[in-house]
Structure 1
């Protein structure tokens, strides 16, 4: 429960790092006499003194001095930057494409392309963003302008972190550190490296990289970036069961948060405070901070801030015995959790698909090159003597055979890529997105037959305690062990997927409610009677199971998921290690 939104560091905070606005007073500016120098000075202030940047941008538009074509494009780029800062992503995208396609300035086009990456990621257009990132990565060695190269490396690091490619994200952050342009500091590259290490779960509250990043950003007078790093430190304190340190840190940075009033930081402060209060046993404080987070969010938001806030509210109400309120908050938590997992799946799938498209394009290019070689060989054959014709024909056949073999391997590779995109990397069963897609399709077929079915949700009891006691390798082994147990109880026609964390889903085909309960209970007993041993450590397991059947709730997947979730919650609430269907009483007996 203590972990703050991991992708918060990869998207909202990193977007914040893209801007890093320091609230400073406006200054009077002299008339524009040298337009090129004035534009360069304006650009240098965009992340250091944003109010003055806006003032100078308005001044050059107001005075309208004669500008060269290069200066006009420079001004259009700065206008696009400010439009995006103000949150008008659609308008800024049009402006950026105009600069990229028509300016003719390589450095300016690169800076606009780097900014466009942030624009696309903020709008969750991940496939377009990763496609652009792949193209810019190829062009990176040709970028000579120091600032353009620096900004491109920054955005590439953010995008790779967003895709879960931690090592590559760290690599680009360190490349930034070795290529600092004049006027920039080490704050941003070191912050990006820490963000990637945090998302990769390679960071502790005492890590020297974290301390170095905080000190660097403080020395560079960039409080937004410094506070981003302090939020990471606070989240790590919570992970390490040091809520008192997290609370002290929040109190220390409170004045800075109120001065900068950066929206993502205000949300993070309330979430961390709610989690710290919960760990300290202060339910009233935890509830108040969590409700503040909900109140600050926008209607319809799906975010890890809300996910964490609703989790705290659910735990608080559950501890105090408020079953109705706990169930309501749990349903909100499940909605946020699924939205978050779907967003992760979308980012991962988009990254995999763009990598696959890049591979296909490369292979197609190689294929065209080989076809051109064949044409040249055919032309050469016409000029050769008759005695050597058989040798060239044999060579042609070998080349054709290699192309056929290459096409065969390409088709197999594409099929393999498609299969891997549907599976959970740890357990080998369907991932969340593919399970939901296949379950919806199967339910529609069952409805047409008609035939019965049961949706089963399984959650391992006390899984966090296993991780805390034996470590994450034991936790991963438990998940694989549980999957193996369940598979032995299922039929070939049943669907089986991992919904996230320690939660699994099963769709039983051609199955009545009573048959489904019997199968679910066999799974529960098998899990309970099959402890696992890893490196001399033995862990006992149990599972809580919720079931919803089509003969009661119909064939609509969303309704079945909601009822199975509610049944699972009741199984947890009534003592765990049991099977519950949502038609039973509030105190179901152990199955």
Structure 2
């Protein structure tokens, strides 16, 4: 009996030792995998080859991974696909992480950030901006420094890719001034150099370039992008020898990154430099390589420039005219696509190119209002002088008059507000809209300038009032105006014609830019989140667009034609835009197109 008890105790001791050993071994494996994951994350851009080897090693240990480690690995695998230009394949992996209820917040946040980058690469700007707007709302409340810096990084990158370099520079400088470390400081410096290059703020010295490159010693891609920006600056200043001397020593490192967008930038810059030096052989060789590597990203400027350079090289060789024509046709097609993409992704950037004209036009259009304001100011000054005289002589009476004058001023202001503005939405009412628009039409007709008119009304709005009440309907109207007002210019004329019907007059704006503006408003209205009203419903609008070339300079005709186009949108299924088409029996009036929006 004693021997049997001793044997049982021995088995128990052995079991406990085995359990402790197994637990210790499992904890050691987990720590080792965590280290591999963190290492892979840190070198994912600086050493792509090692990054890929680590992913392979982690996949071989997939059966030993915890759930959180599996999510982390899936994030890195999706990042690798994105890095290699396979964003559509990466999206399902990222979305699986977002819908997983037990995935930690850090991995989810990083997945969202990379999704924004994918939308930028795929030029899905609407989706990207929707994610970005949420990010910017949440960013001030993010307390974790690294997460906050990541948000600033993605914001600056997205705005630069959108072509909004002023905003890109703003967030990149915020990022840099936050005293980031290592790769984040490198990214901030890279985006600042890129923004300044496009804003013509890059100075003719290499101090800033050298400092930026020194911050990116461990980030080969970022460092060489900075070199490509410096090369563009040198090419702009006709210094091809500096470009060749600056870029050639780093070609092996550039190729090792296996990043097509970077490689084509470097190769095209070198090709342009050799072309300027008259070395046709090297220029053609590098341009051909850029075209080959950039096969899947043909609409990037570097690839387009490479095709143009190949055309110029072939044209210079008199016996290659047929080849030159082929290159030119490809270049022209890609360049047109690039222009269309640029117009679609940022209408504001197009309008900024005409800022000087808009300011001058705005001054002329507001002359009447300025004259009225000057008269009011003169009257106010006279009243102030009279009050001073009364104060000196009458004392108590001036207090009474001041009180009465203040009441009169407030009443006058209130009456004017009621006379000119819609009390619910704060935009022009129909009466004041008619007056201001007729003035704008008169000016544009005399100056031979374009003017476009957009009319829209909300779809199924009566149902919103009937189902959710008029308070909810009023909320929807105010949110609609808020969404549309954030898109336009200061001299645009925006009015509520009645009920859920609105009108937008765009002086000095052609029909193409008006259609883009209407699409921006349509998308903004559709993106309104209605849960804030206390109800869940959708808001859409049907648009009609016309201009003075189609409808003339008569306000009633413009409104009638735009209304007819909006009615066509309603009949075609709502939530769409229709341009007014001139009936066959009518001939459009000729108008000077010198102020058309072009790129």
> Under a length normalisation based on structure 2, what TM-score does the superposition of the two structures give?
0.54
Name the counterpart of 1:206.
205
1:90-143 Cα deviation digits (max 9, x unpaired): 342122223234346333322111111111111111110011111101111222
More contact order relative to length (CA 8 Å, sep ≥ 6)? 1
Q: CA separation in 2, counterparts of 1:98 and 1:351?
A: 35
State yes or no: 1:403 paired with 2:403.
Answer: no
Q: Secondary structure at the match of 1:186?
A: helix
Shift of 1:169: 1.4
Shift of 1:216: 2.2
Name the counterpart of 1:228.
225
Correspondence list, 1:405-554, <5 A: 405=426, 414=484, 417=487, 429=510, 449=584, 491-492=590-591, 497-500=596-599
Residue 249 of structure 2 is aligned with which of 244, 249, 252?
252
Q: CA separation in 1, counterparts of 2:546 and 2:312?
A: 32
Cα 1:402–1:207 change in 2 (3 A) is: farther
* Contact persistence 1:146–1:181 (CA under 8 A): no
* Contact persistence 1:314–1:326 (CA under 8 A): yes
Residue 331 of structure 2 is aligned with which of 333, 344, 358?
333
Q: Secondary structure at the match of 2:596?
A: strand
Q: CA separation in 2, counterparts of 1:346 and 1:74?
A: 35
Name the counterpart of 2:167.
168
* Contact persistence 1:342–1:433 (CA under 8 A): no
Q: CA separation in 2, counterparts of 1:236 and 1:82?
A: 31
Q: CA separation in 2, counterparts of 1:90 and 1:145?
A: 30
Cα 1:146–1:53 change in 2 (3 A) is: farther
C-alpha RMSD of the superposition: 4.5
Correspondence list, 1:63-462, <5 A: 63-64=61-62, 70-101=68-99, 102-103=101-102, 105-179=104-178, 184=183, 186-218=185-217, 221-298=218-295, 301-319=298-316, 326-349=324-347, 402-403=423-424, 405=426, 414=484, 417=487, 429=510, 449=584
Return 5+ residue gaps in structure 2 as ranges.
1-27, 351-417, 434-477, 493-503, 517-544, 551-578
* Contact persistence 2:156–2:191 (CA under 8 A): yes
* Contact persistence 1:150–1:180 (CA under 8 A): no
Name the counterpart of 1:47.
45
Q: CA separation in 1, counterparts of 2:309 and 2:330?
A: 11
Name the counterpart of 2:408.
none
Q: Secondary structure at the match of 2:216?
A: helix
Correspondence list, 1:563-574, <5 A: none
Q: CA separation in 2, counterparts of 1:142 and 1:445?
A: 46
- Highest CA radius of gyration, 1 or 2? 2
Q: CA separation in 1, counterparts of 2:181 and 2:142?
A: 16
Q: Secondary structure at the match of 1:156?
A: helix
1:11-51 Cα deviation digits (max 9, x unpaired): xxxxxxxxxxxxxxxxxxx9544655554444334334444
Q: Secondary structure at the match of 2:590?
A: coil
Q: CA separation in 2, counterparts of 1:133 and 1:156?
A: 7
Q: Secondary structure at the match of 2:143?
A: coil
Q: Secondary structure at the match of 1:118?
A: helix
Cα 1:217–1:96 change in 2 (3 A) is: same
* Contact persistence 2:45–2:221 (CA under 8 A): no
How many residues align structurally? Answer: 384
* Contact persistence 2:117–2:154 (CA under 8 A): yes
Q: Secondary structure at the match of 1:402?
A: coil
* Contact persistence 2:291–2:303 (CA under 8 A): yes
Q: Secondary structure at the match of 2:123?
A: coil
Name the counterpart of 1:14.
none
Q: CA separation in 2, counterparts of 1:307 and 1:259?
A: 23
Name the counterpart of 1:4.
none
1:117-174 Cα deviation digits (max 9, x unpaired): 1111111111100111111011112223333223222111111112233232123223
Shift of 1:349: 4.1
Q: CA separation in 1, counterparts of 2:485 and 2:124?
A: 25
Q: CA separation in 1, counterparts of 2:270 and 2:514?
A: 32
Cα 1:445–1:330 change in 2 (3 A) is: farther
Cα 1:157–1:72 change in 2 (3 A) is: same
Q: CA separation in 1, counterparts of 2:189 and 2:47?
A: 21
Q: Secondary structure at the match of 1:47?
A: coil
> Under a length normalisation based on structure 1, what TM-score does the superposition of the two structures give?
0.54
Q: CA separation in 1, counterparts of 2:260 and 2:481?
A: 48
Q: CA separation in 2, counterparts of 1:76 and 1:92?
A: 9
